[in-house]
Amino acid sequence: MLEYARWKYMLVAAVLLLALLFALPNVFGDDRALQIARKDRAPIAEAEFASITKTLQDAGVKYDSAAVDRGNVMLRFSDDAAQLRARDLVKDQKSGLTRDYLSAMSYASRAPSWMQAIGLRAMPLGLDLRGGLYLLYEVDVNGAVAKLLQSYDQDFRRALREANIAFIDINTLTVDSPIPNGQRILLPATADRAAVRAAIAKVQPDLQCRDANVADGVAVDCVMTAQQVRERQDFAITANVTTLRNRVNELGVSEPIVQRQGLNRISVQLPGVQNSAEVTELLGKVATLEYRLVDPRPLPASGRAPVGAKIYDTKDGGKILLKRDIIVTGDQLTNAVAGSGEQGPEVNVTLDSAGGEEMFRVTRANVGKPMAVVFIEIRSVVTKNPDGTETRRDIKEEKVINVATIQSPLSNRFRTTGLGSAEARDLSLLLRGGALTAPIALVSERTITATLGEKNIQDGVRALVIGMAALFVFMIIYYHLFGVVANLVLLANVIVLAALLSMLKTALTLPGIAGIILTVGMAVDANVLIYERIREELRNGVSPQAAIKAGFEKAFSAIADSNVTTFIAGVVLFVFGTGAIKGFAIVLSLGILTSMFTSLMGSRALITLMFGGSKKLAKLPIG
């Protein structure tokens, strides 16, 4: 008799049952939907839900169903036209909804409610299958280094003043300077440069500081090392990926993909999104705030700011002199919510602990003095030259939007006024999502229609069905009853793979479908190796049950070797690939694991169950 451990039967059965459960939501498909959420991320109450649906009904918007799902309103539609009309209504200022709510086009599963209640979800679909918006941004990594050098400027000035060291000025050494990526501290001829280096080392010990001679006297150059520059550039890309992901989440887009691509680019995939103008405007903005004290000195007639001050434009077209030292910046904000107060639209901000302490310290010492709010926006523009090359130009706008007298010390919570309603809303969204570490420029934008995505799904599924049907016919003709077993194992392999993709919430793309088809072929190869081994043992005169045992055991090494090498290739593709390559690598690697399990354990369990208990087995139906 041929025996197989009982716990292995139980393991195979448990895995298949769980896989069937997790893969089942993919069978039901989904509906076009519109998700409506509160801007402050609070759950929508029943009264608000009734108000939203009444507004839609009064406007003649037809939807199939409406419900509150995890604190958000989910509307289902039967066609694109109704979905787009509902979205436009929510964004229309006249409807009154855009003031308090965000909307995002998405898809809602048709799976039964009990499946959704226990967290069963269909695998998400990538942009090539779902349709939506693809954006490719280029990060200005040199701009990230320049921004860090600007922060050094203020640190150095504070450190030198605290050490009572006189200096003339501090100039930034840009990437185009003979000595790039640093700060040059201009000093009087009698200055103690060793004391300057010591003071700088207390605040930035990693910088390389050395003496320098200039035309107007002496100086100390403090520059970043090549390693520090590379680390800052890598940090800028990683931080911008996080910021873009946060901004996408603030927009309410479902199942977004934001990832690094190449050395200095970031790809953003937004399935289901068609309103590209609004999305690209908000994602690419570098907008933040700075809080500075007003300098009491009069504006110089020459137009050149005195030492320790800087001239800014005001919102009404005038000029104002502010102190160079920054109290806090938008980077220190932990939350920002747009609202409306007595002075019009406002942004209620919350600072982190360090920012709150600094704001309290400065405002307590300057009660009765004016403080200004500077709104900063940077836009990167890429133009094509006649020779085909591209030139990037950053446009930086700094404008004082509000000046108010400090009535009492401020803590970590206060409000900022002086913005329009749209500006307040966009600024609060950008500040909540985080400031971009470096400017980014949009280098590619593609809109993929949902119709094209549906065609890709149909073509991919058709290829999978045709391929599996051809394999099924071949296996039955060539291996008879054992071919039927192989076909059942192949079907189980696809189910287990679909369940894994659903559990891990891995976005399925067109290359992913190709990975599934390749996995089916590799799983067939494992069965062919096992069956040919069994045939060889039968030709050598071994009994049928002994031939089955020997076939699985002797084919194991060949199957393992081929799958391990392919798995290593899949891991390498995942680590170094991006976009479609990474999606293909994920499906391929998971498919190898599932095919190993179903071909070696599942197939053996089924064959042993069928032929292991027969005492008078004279022949195997293996062709």
The answer to whether position 383 is within a domain reads: yes
Residue with tokens 């190869």: 525
d(CA 12, CA 599): 11
Residues 95, 177, single domain; the answer is: no
Assess whether 466 and 607 both reside in one domain: yes
Last residue of a domain, one of 109, 132, 150: 109
User: Backbone dihedral region of 416: left (phi > 0), alpha (psi from -120 to 50 degrees) or beta?
Assistant: beta
> Is the distance from CB of 53 to CB of 67 less than 8 angstroms?
no
Calculated CA dihedral for residues 267, 270, 271, 272, nearest 10 degrees: -150
**What confidence tier does 576 reach under pLDDT thresholds 50, 70, 90?**
confident
Please report, for the domain that includes residue 472, its CATH number. Answer: 1.20.1640.10
Q: Dihedral of the CA atoms 151, 155, 158, 164 (nearest 10)?
A: -140
Could you give the 3-state DSSP secondary structure of residue 547?
helix
Asked, for residue 275, whether it belongs to a domain, the answer is no
pLDDT surpassing 70 at residue 422? no
Express each pLDDT in 263-297 by its tens digit.
888 888 887 665 555 676 667 666 677 889 999 99
**What percentage of residues in the chain have a pLDDT greater than 90?**
9
Residues 188 and 291 in one domain: no
**What total number of domains does the chain contain?**
4
Q: Binning pLDDT at 50, 70 and 90, where does residue 13 land?
A: very high
Q: Which pLDDT score is estimated for 379?
A: 63
Tell me, what's the pLDDT at 277? Answer: 57
146 confidence band (pLDDT: 50, 70, 90)? confident
Which has the minimum average pLDDT: 89-98, 296-305, 317-326, 604-613?
89-98
CA distances from 124 to 28, 257, 413, 501 (A): 13, 11, 40, 9
Q: Which two tokens stand for residue 170?
A: 């501090």
What is the rounded average pLDDT of the residues 130-158?
Answer: 81
pLDDT above 60: residue 434? no
pLDDT, position 412: 76
Q: Would you say residue 268 lies in a domain?
A: no
pLDDT value at position 289? 76
Same domain, residue pair 34 and 11: no
Same domain, yes or no: 459 and 350: no
Note the pLDDT of residue 497. 92
* Contact criterion met (CB below 8 Å) for 23 and 491: no
CA 55 – CA 614 distance, rounded (Å): 71
Q: Is residue 440 part of a domain?
A: no
Whether residue 257 is contained in a domain is answered as no
Output the DSSP codes for 466-521.
Answer: HHHHHHHHHHHHHHTHHHHHHHHHHHHHHHHHHHHHHHHTPPB-HHHHHHHHHHHH
Q: What residue numbers bound the domain in which 37 lies?
A: 30-109
Clarify whether residues 389 and 327 are in a common domain.
yes
Give the pLDDT confidence score for residue 419 in this predicted structure.
61
Distance CA 20, CA 530 (A): 26
| Secondary element (H or E) of residue 581 | helix 580-596
User: Is 280 inside any structural domain?
Assistant: no
The reply to whether 59 and 17 lie within a common domain is no
User: Does 604 share its domain with 460?
Assistant: yes
CA distance 144 to 150: 10
The amino acid present at 541, given as its one-letter code, is G
Dist. CA 615–CA 610, nearest whole Å: 12
pLDDT at 473: 92
Q: Examine the fold and report which residue of 90, 109, 128 is the final residue of a domain before the chain moves on.
A: 109
* Range with the poorest average pLDDT among 139-148, 189-198, 351-360, 411-420: 411-420
Residue 294: DSSP 8-state: B
The answer on 305 and 394 residing in a single domain is yes
Q: Is residue 39 part of a domain?
A: yes
Q: Evaluate if residue 346 carries a pLDDT over 80.
A: no
**For residue 490, is pLDDT > 60?**
yes
Q: Are strands 182-187 and 169-173 parallel, antiparallel or unpaired?
A: antiparallel
pLDDT-derived band at 460 (thresholds 50, 70, 90) equals confident
**Mean predicted lDDT score pLDDT of the chain:** 82
- Domain boundary, last residue among 179, 194, 228: 228
Looking at per-residue pLDDT, the higher value among 450 and 70 belongs to 70
Please give the single-letter amino acid code of residue 617: L
CATH number at residue 43: 3.30.70.260
Q: 453: pLDDT confidence band, cut at 50, 70 and 90?
A: low
* Least confident piece of the model among 103-112, 136-145, 236-245, 278-287: 278-287
Same domain, 496 and 607: yes
Q: Are residues 157 and 95 in the same domain?
A: no
User: 21 with 46, same domain?
Assistant: no
Strand partners, 414: 349
Please tell me the pTM assigned to this model. Answer: 0.62
pLDDT of residue 20: 93
- Asked whether residue 74 is domain-assigned, the answer is yes
Alpha-carbon distance of 20 to 22, in angstroms, equals: 6
